[in-house]
Each structure stands twice: as C-alpha cells, then as structure tokens.
C-alpha cells in the first residue's frame, strides 16, 4: 500500500507536471493543445494534480480544484500505478466526459513524457535537446524525492530528524538549476537558484555529467572520482537527500 501511494504520488506530482515544459518545447504538443482553454484534473482518493490549458500554454498545479473542466478519477493509488507501468486502466471521467476531443488527444500528449525520458543518443547530441532532457530529469528528481521522503516511513523518520537546510543543485556552466529545502520535517523542491542561505551544493561539471547520473549510467562515487560531480558544504545534508534519491528508481517505471 505504501509503495503504491508513493508511486502514484510520483506520477501525479513529478511525472505528469513535466508536460508543462514539454508543451513549451515540443511542436506537436503545442499543436495538440492549441485551442484548449480548460482545466483537467487527475486524482485518486486524497490527492490530485490539475492541468490548466489556456491560449496554447499549460500550467500545472499539484493539487485538486473544486470544479475542473474535466475530472478523471482513479479509485485507488494502485490503479494509477498500473497505468504508470503500462497496463490498460481507464479512469472514471466524472465530469467533462462530453469533451471527447480533449480526452482522445490527452493520451498521445502524456506519452511524450516517456518519449523525452527515453530520448535516444542521436536526439541528445544537440545541446539544446540535451539541456531540455536534463531539465526534465532534474524536475522529476526534485519532486520525486519529496514524495519518497515524506511518504516512505523510513525516509520520513530520517527527514523528521534532519536539521533545516537547503541543497542547491547546479548543472554547470549554465544550468538547469534546482534546490531542495528541508524545513520542519518537510521537503520543498523548486527550480532555479535558492535566494537565501544555501547549506550544501551538488554541482555537475556538464550537462552530459548530469544526464549520465540522472539516467544511472554513472554512479555518484565514480562521478566524484572523475570530477564530474562536486559536493561541498553540509555533507550530512547531501547524504540524507542522496539516500532518498537512491530509493526513487524502485517507485518508477523504467525511464
């Protein structure tokens, strides 16, 4: 039950929100959502995420809303997980079922997440494409760590006893950037650079180095030894968050 809850949360709050970036980058995705002015909520008991489409753009809120244009309901986290791992699952459209064209085109839109997380070597030879893929993985990791750290019993106990602090993650020389803040036993992820005091840094020497670690082609110890990864500052804070990061793959499909 715990594993299903974590995996379902990762789908709604870490994987699905990647569509916001994809709809700004992918020309076919832009064409799919052209003319959509509506909100689409996917949820299971207790949790949900809402996608707001307007004027060819997508904004994601990691929460449920009262009256979305379309609502797709999964009766349990297990149903979300089955769909996430490739099984055929049909959520209950309890509102907006008459918007057939949107429902029909949402599945090919969602499949673009897999397309970019499994991008081939030819695609990422272009630095622009590589930067985009790395930014997707970084966001997946930031919000995935939050789901694992706050929902897995063992990880939650560790986070609850970890002093407040901020880990800044930098891909050098020009980003992307992200951070994880621990505050009062909770994890707050975000994009960009933290504006206040940073307690620890994890820095990647290049986009390629970040991509290799994020896709598990490179382990952290080897990366540090090869000077592809640099850790500085409050090392215990890095170790706590790195331990949670190491748990993330077991809750994800193979990406």
**Model confidence at 228, in pLDDT bands (50, 70, 90)?**
very high
Alpha carbon distance 214, 43 (integer Å): 28
Q: Each residue of 182-197: pLDDT tens digit?
A: 999 999 999 999 999 9
| Mean pLDDT for the chain overall | 93
Domains 2-117 and 123-251 agree in fold: yes
Confidence (pLDDT) at 86: 76
Q: If you compute the radius of gyration of the chain from its CA atoms, what whole number of angstroms results? A: 18
pLDDT of residue 131: 98
pTM of the model: 0.94
Task: Examine residue 106 and say whether the peptide bond preceding it is cis (omega within 30 degrees of 0).
Answer: no
Q: Strand, helix or coil at 14? A: helix
pLDDT digits (tens, 9 = 90+) for 46-79: 999 999 999 999 999 999 999 999 999 999 999 9
Q: Write down the CATH number for the domain with range 2-117.
A: 3.30.1050.10
**Domain 123-251 architecture:** 2-Layer Sandwich (3.30)
Q: Quick one: average pLDDT of 27-45? A: 95
What distances in angstroms separate CA 148 from CA 35, 51, 100, one per listed residue?
A: 36, 23, 35
Q: Which residues 6+ apart lie within 8 Å of 177 measured at CB?
A: 168, 169, 170, 171, 191, 192, 193
pLDDT of residue 254: 64
Please tell me the predicted confidence (pLDDT) of residue 103.
82
Q: Answer yes or no: is pLDDT of 105 > 70.
A: yes
pLDDT at 12: 96
Average pLDDT of the segment spanning 219-233: 92
Looking at residues 160-167, what average pLDDT do you find? 92
pLDDT above 70: percentage of residues in the chain: 99
Residue 177 has pLDDT above 60, yes or no: yes
CA distance 112 to 227: 33
Sorted by where each begins, the domain ranges of the chain are 2-117, 123-251
Name the pLDDT band for 116 (thresholds 50, 70, 90).
very high
Assess contact for 167 and 200: CB atoms under 8 A: yes
């Amino acid at each position: 039950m715990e594993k299903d809850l974590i995996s379902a949360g990762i789908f709604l709050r870490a994987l699905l929100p990647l569509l916001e970036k994809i709809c700004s980058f992918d020309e076919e995705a832009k064409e799919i959502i052209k003319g959509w002015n509506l909100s689409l909520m996917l949820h299971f008991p207790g949790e949900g995420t809402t996608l707001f489409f307007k004027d060819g753009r997508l904004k994601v809120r990691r929460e449920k809303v009262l009256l979305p244009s379309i609502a797709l309901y999964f009766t349990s986290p297990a149903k979300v997980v089955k769909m996430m791992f490739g099984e055929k699952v049909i959520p209950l459209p309890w509102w907006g079922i008459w918007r057939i064209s949107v429902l029909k085109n949402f599945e090919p839109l969602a499949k673009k997440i897999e397309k970019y997380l499994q991008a081939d070597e030819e695609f990422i030879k272009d630095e622009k494409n590589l930067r985009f893929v790395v930014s997707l993985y970084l966001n997946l990791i930031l919000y995935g760590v939050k789901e694992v750290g706050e929902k897995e019993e063992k990880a939650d106990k560790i986070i609850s006893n970890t002093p407040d602090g901020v880990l800044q993650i930098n891909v050098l020389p020009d980003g992307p950037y992200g951070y994880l803040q621990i505050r009062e036993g909770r994890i707050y992820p975000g994009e960009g650079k933290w504006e206040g005091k940073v307690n620890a840094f994890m820095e990647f020497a290049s986009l390629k180095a970040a991509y290799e670690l994020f896709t598990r082609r490179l382990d952290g110890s080897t990366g540090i030894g090869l000077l592809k990864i640099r850790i500085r500052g409050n090392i215990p804070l890095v170790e706590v968050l790195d331990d949670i990061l190491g748990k993330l793959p077991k809750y994800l499909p193979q990406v």
